[in-house]
């Protein structure tokens, strides 16, 4: 029986910019966005075994095990490879749900990468990214593990470099459904496409921010507060917002002033995911 437990990071991501360039007939949106990872996120402790069964802890209230992205990712590997092994996966959850930080997608990607390694199923990165896409649009970027420029509906990825700044990430007491924002009639959907070099040289913005700030006063209040200290904006469709700093000291100094109606954390942006770093250390 395999009983050694190993610990794997499931890092958060930020959308450093997000532009919506069109809407397809099927309702999906074309976009241009820059994903960067944070050195902060959930943690998965995985104990592989020979049971052929996947078990999870703790239970998530209101989410059936078979609907959990971690469970679905594990079952996807079993279905793809015919692997007869099992595992117990314990999740230490620190990323808020509905925050725009990619927590669920990151959990799924970490499950794919870690189990592929632990079970020695031999899947390539491309195969895992394809499997991840079936679980969620953001899963492939977490599987690949490097800062990426995304186009299409988010599935067309190319590696990119971004400044590794320090961020204060804050979450107002509200959860935002992505579909609510992308379905809003007043959402900007005609931002002109630009080259990556042009985007990197421009001021970073998020086309979802205007609508989110109108619909959710808590988000508007949070961004307004952060803007007093540093350039700040929405990540994804929210609810989390972030302020960028050149050094950790300034980020933590501002964090210490965070009002009691906001929760948050300080983290550094990294161009190589902590998941990829952990995987490479296993070899």
Which fold would CATH assign to domain 6-160? Ribosomal Protein S5; domain 2 (3.30.230)
Strand 156-159 relative to strand 148-151, pairing:
antiparallel
d(CA 106, CA 38): 11
> What is the average pLDDT score of the chain?
95
Every domain of the chain and the residues it spans:
6-160, 166-270
At residue 283, the pLDDT reads: 66
Task: Residue 161: count other Cβ atoms within 10 Å of its Cβ.
Answer: 11
pLDDT 10s digits, 4-43:
999 999 999 999 999 999 999 888 899 999 999 999 999 9
**Mean pLDDT confidence for 201-223:** 97
At residue 276, the pLDDT reads: 97
pLDDT 10s digits, 115-124:
999 999 999 9
**Mean pLDDT confidence for 69-76:** 98
At residue 137, the pLDDT reads: 87
At residue 162, the pLDDT reads: 95
**Mean pLDDT confidence for 136-145:** 94
- Mind telling me the catalytic residues? 13, 138
Which residue did the predictor score with more confidence, 90 or 153? 90
Q: How far is CA 240 from CA 17, 87, 95, 192, 244, in A?
A: 14, 32, 10, 26, 13
Query: Which are the contacts of 63, defined by CB distance < 8 A and separation ≥ 6?
Result: none
**Mean pLDDT confidence for 204-219:** 97
CATH class, range 166-270: alpha beta
Strand 156-159 relative to strand 241-245, pairing:
unpaired
pLDDT 10s digits, 147-202:
999 999 888 999 999 999 999 999 999 989 989 999 999 999 999 999 999 999 99
Query: Which are the contacts of 234, defined by CB distance < 8 A and separation ≥ 6?
Result: 100, 206, 208, 209, 212, 213, 219, 223, 240, 241
Is 36 exposed, middle or buried, given 0-12, 13-18 or 19+ CB atoms closer than 10 A?
Answer: buried
Query: What's the whole-model pTM score?
Result: 0.95
């Amino acid at each position: 029986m395999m009983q050694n437990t190993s610990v794997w990071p499931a890092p958060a991501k930020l959308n450093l910019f997000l532009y919506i360039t069109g809407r397809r007939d099927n309702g999906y949106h074309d976009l241009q966005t820059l994903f960067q990872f944070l050195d902060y996120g959930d943690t998965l402790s995985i104990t592989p075994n020979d049971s052929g069964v996947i078990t999870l802890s703790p239970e998530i209230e209101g989410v059936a095990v078979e609907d959990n992205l971690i469970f679905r990712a594990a079952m996807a590997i079993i279905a793809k490879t015919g692997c007869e092994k099992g595992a117990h996966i314990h999740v230490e959850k620190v990323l808020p749900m509905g925050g725009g930080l990619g927590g669920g997608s990151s959990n799924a990607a970490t499950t794919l990468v870690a189990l592929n390694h632990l079970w020695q199923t031999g899947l390539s990165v491309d195969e895992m990214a394809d499997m991840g896409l079936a679980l969620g649009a953001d899963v492939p970027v977490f599987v690949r593990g490097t800062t990426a420029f995304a186009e299409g509906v988010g599935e067309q990825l190319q590696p990119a470099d971004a400044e590794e700044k320090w961020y204060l990430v804050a979450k107002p007491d509200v959860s935002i459904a992505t579909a609510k924002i992308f379905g809003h009639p007043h959402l900007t959907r005609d931002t002109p496409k630009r080259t990556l070099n042009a985007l990197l040289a421009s001021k970073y913005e998020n086309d979802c921010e205007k609508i989110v700030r109108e619909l959710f006063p808590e988000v508007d209040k949070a961004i307004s507060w952060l803007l007093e200290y540093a350039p700040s904006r929405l990540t994804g469709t929210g609810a989390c917002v972030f302020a960028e700093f050149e050094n950790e000291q300034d980020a933590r100094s501002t964090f210490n002033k965070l009002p009691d109606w906001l929760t948050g954390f300080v983290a550094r942006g990294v161009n190589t995911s902590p998941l990829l770093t952990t995987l490479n250390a296993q070899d």
